[in-house]
Amino acid sequence: MPELAAGVEIAIAFALAAVLTAATVPAAIAVAGRTGFLDSPVGYKSHRRPTPYLGGAAVLVAAAVPILLLDEGLGRYWPLLVAALAMSAVGTVDDRLNLSPFLRVGTEIAAAWLLWSEGLGWSFLDSGAANFLLTAFWVTGIVNAFNLMDNLDGAASSVAASSSAGVLALAAIGGDPALALIVAALCGSLLGFLRFNLAGPARIFLGDGGSMTIGMVLAGALMAAPMGELSGWPALLAAGLVVGLPAFDTTMVVLSRRRRGAPVFSGATDHTTHRLLPLLKTPRAVAAVLAAMQAALCVLAIEATRLGPEAAIALACVAALVGLLMLLTADGPRWSPVSDDS
Q: What is the pLDDT of residues 76-126, one digit of tens each?
A: 999 999 999 999 999 999 999 989 999 999 999 999 999 999 999 999 999
Within a domain: residue 1? Answer: no
Domains identified in the chain, total number: 1
**The whole model's pTM is what?**
0.92
Within a domain: residue 297? Answer: yes
Q: What is the pLDDT of residues 263-275, one digit of tens each?
A: 776 777 778 888 8
Within a domain: residue 280? Answer: yes
311: containing domain: 6-341
Band the pLDDT of 257: cuts 50, 70, 90. Answer: confident
Query: What is the percent of the chain with per-residue pLDDT over 90, rounded to a whole number?
Result: 73
Within a domain: residue 135? Answer: yes
Q: What is the pLDDT of residues 273-301, one digit of tens each?
A: 888 888 898 999 999 999 999 999 999 99
According to the model, what pLDDT value does residue 72 have? 55
According to the model, what pLDDT value does residue 275 have? 87
Sign of CA dihedral 62, 205, 293, 260: negative
According to the model, what pLDDT value does residue 261 have? 72
In this predicted structure, the answer to whether residue 2 has a pLDDT above a threshold of 90 is no
Interval 242-249 mean pLDDT: 95
In this predicted structure, the answer to whether residue 27 has a pLDDT above a threshold of 80 is yes
Interval 218-245 mean pLDDT: 96
